[in-house]
A and B are shown apart, each in its own frame.
Chain A
C-alpha cells in the first residue's frame, strides 16, 4: 500500500514539474495583459530564455549567471516589443507574432554552437528528505529553486494585483488608461515595466526547460508551450490562482495519458493526446462562467494602443 501511495506521489510530482514553465510564463503574461498589453510573443521570449540560459551555463559554468541571464534576455527581447507597441504605437497582435518568429529564428542561430552538448546537473533543495515521508516527500522535497518559486508565484501575483497600490495602478492602466493618465499615472511607463516583467518570467520559463527539465538545447524545444501559456491566461479569465489550476490539469493529463497508454487502457491514443487541451478548456470555462466576474477581471483596454502623449 505504501508503495502505491508513493507511486501516486511520484506522479503528482511529475505533473507539478511539467506545469512549472506554464505557470511562470502565464503569470508573467498575466501582468502584461492586466496592464492592457496583449503580447503574443510568449513562445518567442521563452525560446530566447531557453537558449540564453543554456548558452550562459555552458560558457560561464555558473548556474546563477545563467538563470538571471535568461531572465535578462527575456527582458531585452520584450524591450523591442515594448518600444514598438508603446513608443511607435504598432499593432500588438502583429508585433507579438513577429516577436515569436524572431525569437525562434534568432535562438536557432545562436543555438547552432550548442547542439549536442550535455547540460549540467541543477542543484535541488531538501534532496536528503526525498524518502522521509511517504506520498508527500516526492511532492514537497528534492526540487529546484525555480520549482518552488513557480508554485509561490500565482499567490504572490494575486496578492500583488489585489492588495498592493502598484497592483491597483497596473489594473487601472489596463482598464482605463485615459482615467489613469488623468490621475497623473504615466501609462506608457507602467506598460513598459509590465511588458519587461512578462519578458523576464517567460525567459525564466524557457531557462527551466533547457537547464532543469530536460537539460539540453534543441531547436524549437519549447514546443508550443508559450501558446498554451497564453491560452491559460485567457481561459483563466486573468486570475493567477486559476492559472495554477489550469496548468496542473494540463500537465496532469499530459502525463496521465502516457500512463494510461503504458497500462494498456484501450482508448484511442489520438483522443488521449487531445485530452489535455479539451479538458483544460472545459474546466476553466466552467469555473470561470460567472460573466459578471469575467467583466470585472478582463482588462478593458487589452490590445488597444494608448495614443495620449505623456
Chain B
C-alpha cells in the first residue's frame, strides 16, 4: 500500500516538474504539414524554405511531408497537436476540413491553413498569396516580347487559383499587345517532369515562342532552353536551369509570414486572421529580370511592380469581358476578392474551354 502511494507520489511529482519546466522554458514549437516531398523544388520546397526561416529566427520546428489529403491528415494533425506543438501550418487546400476538425479538439493549439477559406474555430487562421499579381508581370513581359503572337501556357488543374492566373496573365499580355493568343494545355498534374516536357513541346510545335507554366517542375524551362525560346519560372527562381530561356520567375515567399505568426504565438498576440498577401507584402516576389528583356519593357515592368505593390494598379481592372463577350468587371472597377476566389471562367482572348 505504502509502495503504491510512494510510487504515485513520485510519478505525480515528476509530472508536475515536467509541467513547470515546459511552462518556464516557454519554447514555442511550430509544425508544418506538407502535401508533397520537400524535394519537389516547387510548392512544398518553398514552404520548407519558410520553415527554415522560422528555425533561423530561433524557434523549434517539425515537419511531416507527403501527407495525403485524407483521414491520414487528421491523424497526423492530432499527433502533432498532442506532442506539444503550439502552432501548426497546414500547407495544402485539401487539409481544410481536417484542420478545422482537429482545431476544435485542441483549442489551445493555433492552426494556420494555406489557401483555404474555412475558419470554423477561433484558433484557425487562413493565408494565401496573390500569385496572380506576379502573373500580371509575366503577361506584360510575354505580350511585349512575343514575335509569333502565340503564347503557350501549361496548366495543372482547373481550379480558381489556376484560372485566375491564366486570366491575369492574358489580360496583361493583351494590354500591351492586343493580337496575342494564349494557348492552354492542361497537364493534369502538379509535377511530372516527363508530362510537363511533352506539353511544352506540343505548345512549341504549335508556334508558341514564350511559355508560361502553372506546374511545379523545371522541365518546361529546360525544354524552352533547348528550343531557343523564352519561359517563366514557377514557385522558385528557375534561372539556373535555363539561363537563356528564363526571363524571370514568380517566387512564393512564405518565410516572413511564418516568422511573424510564430512570433505572435510566442508573444501571446496571435489572433484569427484571413491573410491574402501579394507583391506589396513580399509574399509574392519577382526574380531578377533577364538581360534579354529590352530596356523599355524592363522600365515598364519595374513601374508595374511598384504600382501593384502600392495598390495603384490592380490585376483585374475593368472593363473585363468573358469569352462570350459578357461583361465581368465594369469599366473603372476592380474585381473584388470574392470574385477572384471563385473565378471559374476564362476572360476574352483565352482559347479553348475550361475542362469540366
Cβ-defined contact, A259 with B202, below 8 A: yes
Inter-chain contacts of B240 with A (CB < 8 A): 118
Q: Take A18-B198, A108-B37, A261-B185 as given contacts and tell me if A218 and B206 are in contact as well, using a CB distance cutoff of 8 Å.
A: no
CA A254 to CA B208, docked complex, whole Å: 19
CA A254 to CA B194, docked complex, whole Å: 10
B78 in the interface, Cβ–Cβ < 8 Å? no
Tell me which of A146-154, A162-170, A264-272 binds B. Answer: A264-272
Cβ-defined contact, A216 with B241, below 8 A: yes
A281 in the interface, Cβ–Cβ < 8 Å? no
Kindly supply a per-residue 1/0 record for chain B positions 285-311, scoring 1 wherever the CB is within 8 Å of any chain A CB and 0 otherwise.
000000000000000000000000000
B106 in the interface, Cβ–Cβ < 8 Å? no
CA A115 to CA B219, docked complex, whole Å: 13
Cβ-defined contact, A116 with B185, below 8 A: no
Cβ-defined contact, B39 with A108, below 8 A: yes
Cβ-defined contact, B195 with A254, below 8 A: yes
Tell me which of B25-33, B172-180, B261-269, B348-356 binds A. Answer: B348-356
Nearest Cβ in chain A — how far from B151, in angstroms? 11
CA A254 to CA B189, docked complex, whole Å: 13
Inter-chain contacts of B217 with A (CB < 8 A): 214, 216, 218, 221
With an 8 Å Cβ cutoff, the count of chain B residues facing the other chain is 43
Nearest Cβ in chain B — how far from A46, in angstroms? 12
Q: How large is the interface on A (under 10, 10 to 19, 20 to 34, 35 or more residues)?
A: 35 or more
Inter-chain contacts of A221 with B (CB < 8 A): 192-194, 217
Inter-chain contacts of B93 with A (CB < 8 A): none
Residue of B nearest to A109 (CB): B39
Nearest Cβ in chain A — how far from B59, in angstroms? 22
Inter-chain contacts of A112 with B (CB < 8 A): 38-39
Kindly supply a per-residue 1/0 record for chain A positions 183-215, scoring 1 wherever the CB is within 8 Å of any chain B CB and 0 otherwise.
000000000000000000000000001000111
CA A160 to CA B137, docked complex, whole Å: 58
CA A275 to CA B217, docked complex, whole Å: 24
Binding site for A on B (CB under 8 A): 36-41, 45, 152, 183-189, 191-199, 201-203, 205-206, 208, 217-219, 222-223, 236, 240-241, 351-353, 355-356
A–B complex contacts, Cβ < 8 Å, 29 sampled? A7-B205, A10-B205, A14-B201, A14-B202, A18-B198, A111-B39, A115-B41, A118-B218, A213-B193, A213-B194, A213-B197, A214-B196, A214-B217, A217-B39, A221-B194, A221-B217, A254-B198, A255-B198, A258-B187, A258-B203, A259-B206, A261-B184, A261-B352, A264-B351, A264-B352, A268-B355, A269-B188, A269-B355, A273-B188
